[in-house]
Amino acid sequence: MSAASSPSVAVVLPSVWRQYHALTKPRVIQLIVFCALIGMVLAVPGVPTWAQVQLAAIACFGIWLVAGAAAAFNCVVEQHIDAKMKRTAWRPTAKGQLTNGKTLSFSAVLCGAGSAVLYFAVNPLTMWLTFATFVGYAVIYTVILKPLTPQNIVIGGASGAMPPVLGWAAMTGVVSPEALILFLIIFLWTPPHFWALALYRVEDYRKSGLPMLPVTHGSEFTRLQILLYTFVLFAACLMPFMMRMSGWFYLASAIALSIGFCGYAWALWRNYSDALARKTFRFSLIHLSLLFAALLIDHYL
């Protein structure tokens, strides 16, 4: 290789790596793994042993691989939709930087590797639950529900709510009622979180042809649904305390965060603006992150 060709290789290789990395939707995966980790920690009474820490790290790695595979598969299925939307037009599949064959092969490798890690190094239950989550998101939600019904995010939200259950199963080998409470919180959080985004991205969704709630039922109806969901979510966020999974620190945090989310939803319902919808969406991310962080801190108090 000549010296003149070296700089181009140095530029191309990192660029290709970034394209494959973008397929895994890193920000989404970080939240998924974080929620799974919370499930792992809460499943272990007291301070975990070194062996449990190692098991949790392996489980997080396996879940990350399978979640990344699902995200890459989603990019293939929705590449034409992504190309029409400002929020997603930058994705490598939408821009034609990576072929469908390469992306599907990448997804298959990640899914296979992650499933093997979970099956042999964690336990079969976690592997099957994680694989079912992959199918639920990549196939049932992306291929079937999303283009057919405005309730897509409600039904498909079950896949997104699975990480704490996966984490709990990884450490205990069972799915307990406590894990299902964590599942319920994320399941109820998902619609108001996503519909807030859909409100200020409504023109993108209209162009894409996807039957998102603001497109099919209008802004006012969607805002009312967001408000009602935040009220129900408030009640669900109190359940860890009521079931004695957590103590007073978590309760205080959950009440404060839930009042904040309901406050944003109320303001959005009464007086809509794109800026407020964007703030509501961003606060929803803060809400879930801090809520689960409070569970983690409370676990060791």
Q: Please give the pLDDT value at position 122.
A: 97
Q: Is 180 exposed, middle or buried (0-12, 13-18, 19+ CB in 10 A)?
A: middle
Q: What is the pLDDT of residue 84?
A: 77
**pLDDT value at residue 11:** 47
User: What integer pLDDT is reported at residue 1 of this predicted model?
Assistant: 43
* pLDDT averaged per 10 residues, the chain (length 301): 45 71 88 92 92 97 96 88 76 83 93 97 97 90 82 85 96 96 96 96 86 93 98 98 95 98 98 96 96 94 88
Integer Cα distance of 23 and 46 in angstroms: 37
SS (H, E, C) 51-102: HHHHHHHHHHHHHHHHHHHHHHHHHHHCHHHHHHCCCCCCCHHHHCCCCHHH
**Cβ(108)–Cβ(69) below 8 Å:** yes
Distance between CA atoms of 41 and 161, rounded to whole angstroms? 17
The C-alpha atoms of residue 49 and residue 90 are separated, in whole angstroms, by: 43
Which amino acid is it at 41? V
Residue 112 and residue 110: Cα distance in Å, rounded? 6
Q: Which two tokens stand for residue 24?
A: 């895994």
Residue type, 265: A
